[in-house]
Chain A
């Protein structure tokens, strides 16, 4: 879906296209895991809008769907989540994960 920015200069970049500008060397093992059972009782859901890569997606049954593959490894989610046990957070194995070129 493309939207036009208010100036009408060029179509705003879709989130998918935005993430497609970043290079990832995806590891086989997930470096972050989410316990969706804990998330079910979370009312804040800070991760959902704070994650700059938009990797936390609420599901119909009240849980959270999480995909580690396009993670920036920034640390925002584990810092804003207040629920003990909801997140396990570490870095991907050496050499994997995000690889910025123009950071």
Chain B
């Protein structure tokens, strides 16, 4: 392997973006004894970041032992619900688990400014240098094309490193500039969604009463339907003294609809199943952010000479309407990227070959294993049948099941399903094949 010919780089590792992926990468690399710069364009970590609001923190067991004693949490999620909406109906599957309200916990709501700030501080405590208010504007490369650092918008702001870890989020200009999306087909808009969110203040007792909670327990509601026919979904999550409500809208669907995003959200908020939960709440912050929705089949290459890509920059978000998980994948990928960078630097080879351990670590972990297994789910969830027909179908079946209109005899379940399917224009053949795809994905 050729020795590194360039003048000594300023840092071993330059991480771009102090989101969960970047902070995890910086933390892991700093722990391995490397010198690390963690660049963030916002004035503080989290300033540019928006999500629904739930962290599933299992991966933190490995990264930050005992994390639950330190993480800035709003509420521990002990109640998870999935709601199917039509214009006038709602079917909710509601699950509670007291276990989730105790260590080691399952999920928590948190604000990004607090969560990302905490994660970045862990990286700093391990020795990484956080450089906020600094935007990476492009890649530095040597004559052979190997990435050797980044340009920044600070005067004289070139930053060199043996490895650059791009954790610059859904729009990743670094991954694009490196040509890593060359093999991904279709335009980015076709596999990207816009999330718009409102954080609405409610007194703590009101949150607890309305959502049936006590102490620091919290509820998450994921919503299918309720987006005015635009492929996507919604969410309603509880914080300590506020709730976060939002919609996730496919960009192509939003474009075709001609409807404004906050109007779609207003429609969801007015649904008879949602409005009573929000009554009297006061808008605290309106926000919006993009989500990479395409999953495994739309991921770029994750490794090139001198550079790794982690988190949303690598489309590692598992976001298919009702499911919204990305922080856990970003944390995992960042951790493995930091580890792979350290191994490559120790071995003296930071070429694509030297960094290939990253892909292996991802493949062996939940990060790519989940994505590969669930690769058909985004397409299924965004399909017309799931979006437009199934919520209605299931609501109709439930309505039939719960309606009491004796003296007429009660119809059997099979009758209810076939009647509802006919009314909602669903073929039983499709229902079965979609059920089969789901069963295969989630088996």
Contacts and interface: CB of A to CB of B under 8 A. Distances in A.
A90 B171 CA distance: 10
B170 interface: yes
Given A52-B196, A99-B42, A102-B113, A76 B258 contact: no
A50 B286 contact: no
B49 A6 contact: no
A94 B134 contact: yes
Interface string A66-103: 00000011111001100000000011111101111111
B: interface residue count bin: 35 or more
B275 interface: yes
Nearest to B50: A103
Given A75-B170, A103-B289, A98 B260 contact: no
A61 B280 CA distance: 42
B288 A54 contact: no
A46 B194 CA distance: 13
A86 B355 CA distance: 39
A74 to B, nearest CB: 5
A103 B251 contact: no
Contacts of A93: 135, 153
A42 to B, nearest CB: 12
A72 B262 contact: no
B189 interface: yes
6 contacts: A5-B270, A22-B286, A50-B194, A50-B255, A102-B242, A102-B244
B113 A101 contact: yes
Contacts of B154: 94
Interface in B51-109: 51
B275 A7 contact: yes
Given A15-B262, A94-B135, A102 B194 contact: no
B47 interface: yes
Given A76-B288, A99-B48, A102-B284, 11 more contacts: A10-B280, A22-B285, A46-B255, A50-B255, A73-B48, A79-B187, A79-B189, A100-B47, A100-B48, A100-B112, A103-B112
B206 to A, nearest CB: 14
Interface string A47-59: 0011011100000
B285 A76 contact: no
Closest 9 A-B residue pairs measured CB to CB?
A: A95-B133, A52-B288, A103-B50, A102-B199, A94-B134, A79-B189, A94-B133, A99-B47, A46-B255
B255 A25 contact: no
A103 B134 contact: no
Contacts of A53: 288
Contact of A75 (B42, B47, B171, B254): B171
Contact of A102 (B254, B261, B270, B287): B287
Given A15-B262, A97-B48, A79 B192 contact: yes
Contact of A13 (B173, B242, B283): B283
A25 B262 CA distance: 23
B132 interface: yes
Interface string B269-297: 01000010001100111111110000000
Interface of A: 5-7, 9-10, 12-13, 15, 17-19, 21-22, 25, 44, 46, 49-50, 52-54, 72-76, 79-80, 90-95, 97-103
A92 to B, nearest CB: 8
B50 A100 contact: yes
B288 A72 contact: yes
A100 B189 CA distance: 24
A72 B244 CA distance: 18
A22 B285 CA distance: 6
B285 A72 contact: no
A25 B255 CA distance: 29
A98 B194 contact: no
A11 to B, nearest CB: 11
Contact of B251 (A73, A76, A91, A100): A76
A9 B42 contact: no
A68 to B, nearest CB: 15
B285 A9 contact: no
Interface in B173-202: 173, 187-189, 192, 194, 196-197, 199
A102 B242 CA distance: 10
Contacts of A92: 135
B369 interface: no
Most buried by B among A9, A17, A18, A103: A103
Contacts of B132: 94-95
B43 interface: yes
A94 to B, nearest CB: 4
